[in-house]
Amino acid sequence: MKKLLLALSVIFVSVTGFAQATAPQSAENVVKFKELVHDFGKIKQGVPVTYNFAFTNVGTKPVVIEAATASCGCTTPVKPEAPVAKSKADKITAGFNAAALGPFNKTIAVKVAGIDAPLELRITGEVLSEVDYAKYQKEKGNKSK
């Protein structure tokens, strides 16, 4: 009986220890972004726009952003190069070239060191031609009066 109880205790401790060692950590447990999606609204064709996705290191040690990879060449993310200390803030800048007309919905995959699954940031909006953008601005100005 004692051997059975001892064997079960050893198995329990082993399984518990193994489960904790392999539990996947989420990027959200290490970096907390102020927002994960930014809508630029209506923007003028050929006029690049940028947005800073602010985040804070909520982990227990410095965090390294290994990569910030855009879903297409029209989006250019810029990540911090230095580790971000515990409780400190930094940003990932998302640039969009606004070359093609129409709505857009682009993603940036953010890879945090030591975490397998990347975190996803998203930018959206609509690129208007110069003529349509001027009409939009005029209508917008009339509505605010």
CA nearest neighbour of 116 among 66, 61, 70, 79: 66
Q: What is the pLDDT of residue 144?
A: 62
Among 80, 92, 82, 81, which Cα is nearest to 122's? 92
Which pLDDT score, from 0 to 100, does residue 19 have?
46
> What pLDDT is stored for residue 142 in this prediction?
77
Q: Which residue has the tokens 């102020």?
A: 34
What confidence score (pLDDT) does residue 56 get? 98
Higher pLDDT, 16 or 103: 103
Tokens, residue 5: 């109880």
How much is the pLDDT for 22?
Answer: 45
What confidence score (pLDDT) does residue 8 get? 47
pLDDT average, residue stretch 105-119? 96
Structure confidence at residue 24 as a pLDDT band (50, 70, 90): very low
Q: Tell me the mean pLDDT in the region 136-140.
A: 91
Residue in 13, 25, 95 with CA at minimum distance from that of residue 61: 25
Question: According to the model, what pLDDT value does residue 31 have?
Answer: 96
Please enumerate in sequence order all residues whose Cβ is within 8 A of that of 67, keeping only pairs 6 or more positions apart, or say none: 79, 109, 110, 111, 118
Q: What predicted TM-score, i.e. pTM, was given to this entire model? A: 0.80
Q: What is the mean pLDDT of the chain?
A: 88
Of 37, 40, 38, which is closest to residue 136 (Cα–Cα)?
40
What's the rounded mean pLDDT across residues 100-125?
97
pLDDT at position 25, please?
Answer: 78
Residue of higher predicted confidence among 28 and 40: 40
